[in-house]
Amino acid sequence: MSKIVIVGGGVAAYRALHRILELDPLCDVTLISDEDRPAYERPMLSKELLTSDKPLRSLGVRGSFPNLTQLFSTRATKVDRRQKRVLLDDGCEISYEKLILATGSRPRRLEVDNPTSERLHYLRTAVDAEKLRPFLCPGNRIAIIGGGFIGLEVAASARALGAEAVVLEAQPRLLARVAPESLSTWLHDLHKKNGVDIKLGAQVDQIAEDPSTGGMIVRTASGEIPADAVLVGIGVLPNVELAVDCGLDVDGGIAVDIHGRTSDPYILAAGEATRYPLERLGLLTRSECWTTSSDQGTIVGEAALGSLGDGYREMPWVWSDQYEASIQYLGLPLTASRMVTHPGESQNAWVDIAWDDAGRFLGAIGINSGRQISELRRALRKGLPIPAKFGLETQATL
Amino acid sequence: MTVMEETWIDACGVADIPDGGMHHFKHNENWVVIYHVDGDFFATDNICPHAFALFSDGWLEDGLIECPLHGALFDIRTGEVKRGPAECAVNTFKTKVDGDRVLCAV
């Protein structure tokens, strides 16, 4: 019997738990989560959970496992590597033989936020989504600070529900941190067509409550935006503090190998808090990516039981659904020096394909092009060249 | 207990689907896709059980169909989920070849 402790309650933690229980149903395993329920499909929070009556899809454990303990609404506060134990916020201690850190990320806070207001929202957990949802209704206006994926998905959800949406982005274009201009421009047009008011270069100076209306006011250099609610979506920060405090190697994320092994042989890590190697591309990266967290979780579950398979060899792959559009983001296209746009298989479909000067395929962005992205993902994972059908004689410099 | 009787319908011609290809159709309430793999024909629901997307827009390889929207992967022979985010299997339908036609039991 092996005593495994998992810190975290998201998809990486639960995929690890599922794999451990699949391989060893009698395993003595304890999961510690600061959320109030088992993991769920977090991508639903900004989309289906806001716009439909579909229940949140759970990733919880099905079946009975005699040596499984799940501690919810509980925070791990310290890892004592010498004595191999985890300290909890309720004062308890849990010893481990193998520890899995799947601590995920948290929303980056706006410096000028107004944390006492019930109308100011961040969106990371099911509880956050449940609080936000009632504000997305006809007649209401929501101000969204941050023109990234979360902000734009909530804007699309707000419009689907008949609410007004204003997006305030500090950069000169949407998704400036992660997207090429082609995607920024396309998304800008998509949201404009759907009635979203987009304000670029809008640095927020203050978020205040408006006592005359009971609503909120967002103040920028170019004016005031009244809103019934404010959503802040300006990125996430990896939860690496436990790892830093106990002296693990951390460099922008908990340093792991393709099996999720950290610098301590008794500690593994998976998911958004990790910085991991993409061996095919010769790069280290940290991903904010549901599929990566899911796959890495399964791998560290195996590794915690001493089974090392092929390790993580997939590529980061993010999807975003906005209105009727499917946006897919594969690999690391922004590290490329060259990118070309290939027409998709239907109207309103296209694929940007990216590679470097050495001819290495590095990633792609697809709009309504799931089939092509599937094919490109296989090529990227296997280290193959870009499939010939994409005809790259029309190369263009990024 | 009610036993639903199978209804064999003429889905398409054998020559209509190249090897590795798909053909989709709607019959009453069923959205069905037929896959041609190495001379054999298989059929499943055409709608992903995870979120609305058509498998006929997806990627078929090694007997697995990948949903074009969120990448859920299914075995076209058994309907089994091979990779999430889907948690439940997709319905499968029997097929058979009659002369130059592919029949499907819906």
Cβ contacts (< 8 Å) between A57 and chain B: which residues? 85, 87
What share of chain A has pLDDT > 70, as a percent? 97
Higher pLDDT, A218 or B3: A218
pLDDT at A104: 97
Domain final residue pick, A181, A203, A232: A232
Judge contact between A33 and A6, C-beta under 8 A: no
d(CA B39, CA A30): 49
- Is residue A289 located within the same domain as residue A339? no
Residue A315 lies in a domain: no
- Total domains in the fold of chain A: 3
Among left, alpha and beta (phi > 0; psi -120 to 50; other), residue A292 is alpha
Residues A281 and A380 in one domain: no
| pLDDT the model gives residue A114 | 66
Listed as own residue / partner, the contacts of A180-185 with beta carbons closer than 8 Å and 24 or more positions apart are: A180/A333, A180/A334, A180/A339, A180/A352, A180/A354, A180/A365, A180/A398, A182/A339, A182/A341, A182/A352, A182/A365, A183/A327, A183/A352, A183/A365, A183/A367
The CATH number of residue A20's host domain is 3.50.50.60
* Closest listed residue to residue A264, CA positions, set A94, A24, A74, A80: A80
In the predicted model, what is the mean pLDDT of chain A? 93
Final residue belonging to a domain, choices A304, A337, A352: A304
Smallest CA–CA distance, residue A371 to chain B, in Å, is 5
A169-180 pLDDT per residue, tens: 999 999 998 899
Residue A398 domain-assigned (yes or no): no
Identity of the highest mean pLDDT range in A52-61, A78-87, B54-63: A78-87
What is the interface pTM, i.e. ipTM, of the complex? Answer: 0.83
Give chain A's contact residues with B (Cβ, < 8 Å). Answer: 41, 43, 48, 57, 59, 290-291, 294, 317, 319, 321, 326, 370-371, 373-375, 378
Tokens of A205: 């100076």
Rounded to 10°, the helix A290-304/A11-23 angle is 40
- Does one domain contain both A71 and A118? no
Phi, psi of B20 (to 5 degrees): 85, 0
Query: Structural domain of residue A55, as residue ranges?
Result: 3-106+237-304
State residue A52's pLDDT score.
92
Q: Tell whether A135 and A81 lie within a shared domain.
A: no
pLDDT score for A111: 81
**Is residue A115 domain-shared with residue A215, that is, in the same domain?**
yes
A238: number of CA atoms within 13 Å, CB side?
Answer: 25
Check pLDDT > 70 for residue A221.
yes
Whether residue A360 lies inside any domain: the answer is: yes
Task: Convert the pLDDT of each residue in A385-395 to its tens digit.
Answer: 888 888 774 34
Q: For the residues A195-218, what does the mean pLDDT come to? A: 93
What is the pairing mode between strands B22-27 and B30-37?
antiparallel
Q: CA-CA distance, A284 to A332, in Å (whole number)?
A: 11
Whether residue A277 is contained in a domain is answered as yes
Continuous segment of H or E residues that includes residue A141? strand A141-145
pLDDT at A322: 95
Q: What is the pLDDT along chain B (106 residues), one digit of tens a residue?
A: 556 677 898 888 998 999 999 999 998 888 999 999 988 999 999 999 988 899 999 999 999 999 999 999 999 999 999 987 888 899 999 999 999 999 899 8
The Cα of A309 is separated from the nearest Cα of chain B by a number of Å equal to 17
Indicate if A183 and A290 belong to the same structural domain. Answer: no
- Best residue of A374, A380, A381, A389 to probe chain B, by most B CBs closer than 10 Å: A374
Q: Based on the domain organization, do A247 and A102 belong to the same domain?
A: yes
Nearest beta carbon to residue A319 from set B61, B69, B87: B69
Residue A310 domain-assigned? Answer: no
Residues A216 and A116 occupy one common structural domain: yes
Q: Based on the domain organization, do A25 and A57 belong to the same domain?
A: yes
